[in-house]
Structure 1
């Protein structure tokens, strides 16, 4: 997105509470990627409009997006999964600090394993938010399918990955394989027979997949 346009949109965003600013500063200091202000506000608006009762997040990081989704719909029960030990502990502390333990359940483990456990336990969700290892998005999506209720929706973040996915000649040695996987994921997603998917150039790219 054009920097001037992005600045314009950022200036139109509603004021956030102090705890939100503190989490954003914590993420910046620790170099932990979280959704940018425009992206998180879009996610929150989706939550407000659809009012999902049960939300599953794959990739808690420091608990920022789970807390913001709770802010958008305080009545929702949120389950979030985090593999990294340090980030998991940060998320636990941040959720506890906001006294949201009764609304946000955080699971410590590998999402590929934990999603299967949730399915075995007959858990179900109206909304699933994927924001973890980008190279595993397809696996996350497939494992999440048994958990999604009819007419539910799945949100995938970072699907445009800095705009690199649009460049057929992209050759950066560090990101080349990841970009190829995200590009393949997007193509697979928009052609999935059970979903209608829209990809929007918001933040780092957001895909919204509605279950038919």
Structure 2
């Protein structure tokens, strides 16, 4: 049933633009983990409604999601972090080809370390999108919370991780620690007094958290 729903939702999506389709095909062939199209469509919609000025993305990969985010918030400035040197340079190339290098700044380094540096510089963002090492989501949240403005939106991808987070079946041993951390992360988000969160079961699961303006 879940696969059927996913296929149906995918069939309703508008066709990707030229550069997006090119990057989607590249990611599929080269096994680059990028955001799924349905989740990207949701993110696009939220950015259209929010119209943020400053976006922080944790996990650039090849620059696909950063470029697509500008479709929903064309005047935004995006800071995005990538740890892998090869993907960092691929992202720089892809962003440059679309002439978006003035709006999208790619930072190379460990996400937590770079986020800490940004927090120390008192950087503030209207939207923060987390799509990096899933075992570090709590660390990323703690740092993101310092930089997300009241009324801002925190979006986290892959929070249901292949259905293993909610499955009643035994989790493979190699994923047990990761699944335990994701379960704790989801529970933290849903019960955090400073946020209002919804977890949306599309693709690999997306959480959307609104930072309350007053406690």
CA distance in 1, matches of 2:15, 2:168: 39
2:14 maps to 1:48: no
Note the alpha carbon deviations across 1:106-165, whole angstroms, 9 max, x for none. 100111111111112121000000000000000000011111111111001000001101
* Secondary structure in structure 2 of the residue aligned to 1:175: helix
- CA shift, 1:170, in A, is 2.6
Q: Detail structure 1 runs of 4+ shifted over 6 Å in the superposition.
A: none
**TM-score, reference length from structure 1:** 0.96
CA RMSD of aligned residues (A): 1.1
1:66–1:104 Cα contact (<8 Å) kept: yes
Query: What is the correspondence of 1:135-150 to structure 2 with a 5 Å cutoff?
Result: 135-150=135-150
* Secondary structure in structure 1 of the residue aligned to 2:151: strand
- Counterpart in the other structure of 1:108: 108
* Secondary structure in structure 2 of the residue aligned to 1:165: coil
- CA shift, 1:188, in A, is 1.1
- CA shift, 1:16, in A, is 1.7
CA distance in 2, matches of 1:87, 1:176: 28
- Counterpart in the other structure of 1:157: 157
* Secondary structure in structure 1 of the residue aligned to 2:132: coil
- CA shift, 1:3, in A, is 2.4
CA distance in 2, matches of 1:209, 1:134: 17
**TM-score, reference length from structure 2:** 0.95
**Length, aligned pairs only:** 212
- CA shift, 1:34, in A, is 1.1
1:35–1:203 Cα contact (<8 Å) kept: no
- Counterpart in the other structure of 1:80: 80
- CA shift, 1:168, in A, is 4.7
1:198–1:208 Cα contact (<8 Å) kept: yes
Comparing 92-101 and 29-38, the one that deviates more: 29-38
Comparing 114-123 and 153-162, the one that deviates more: 114-123
1:170–1:176 Cα contact (<8 Å) kept: no
